[in-house]
A = this chain, B = another copy of it.
Amino acid sequence: MEKSKNKKNVRVNYGLAQKQVLANAGVKITFLRSKILAFAMDSKKPFSFEDVFLALRDTGIHRATIFRNLSLFKDAQILREVDMRQDAMFYEIATKGHHHHVVCKICGCVESFDMCGLDNLVEEFIKNSKEFDKISEHSFEMFGVCKKCYKKK
């Protein structure tokens, strides 16, 4: 796999910000990890395996490596999973604070938003629940048709 014409430049190609994040999370820094992370940090909306694969195809990266690193980044809390009701799992940078998404069912565009009221609802549920007394995660996603796609019809 070709990484750089000049062996001496490999290290500086890693990217400072990515290096920082990886070191911080106690994750070994490699060329491919910094590339994946750079892509993730640039992405303005949740992305899937395929997005990464296409973005990095010129590096010759193997499918398995992407899956392994997405999973690693999730465990290291660098990324967070986002369920977009697609076949594939989506991811986004975990530092973006808890929020939710609306997904356009036609073009797939995404709008993010805070939903301050949700935590209260979760609290309330817990009080009334017979079988659960702790909730570790919740997901709340909305689906519709965005204004652009609506006009096109």
Residue of B83, B104, B132 near A111 (CB, 8 A) is B132
Cβ-defined contact, B132 with A102, below 8 A: yes
Complex Cα spacing A139 to B131, Å: 21
Complex Cα spacing A150 to B136, Å: 13
* Chain B residue, CB-CB nearest to A140: B140
* Chain B residue, CB-CB nearest to A121: B117
Chain B residues closer than 8 Å to A144, beta-carbon distance: 132, 134-137
Cβ-defined contact, A125 with B115, below 8 A: yes
Chain B residues closer than 8 Å to A129, beta-carbon distance: 102, 111, 113
A residues apposed to B, CB below 8 Å: 83, 85, 102, 104-105, 109, 111, 113, 115, 117-118, 120-122, 125, 128-148, 150
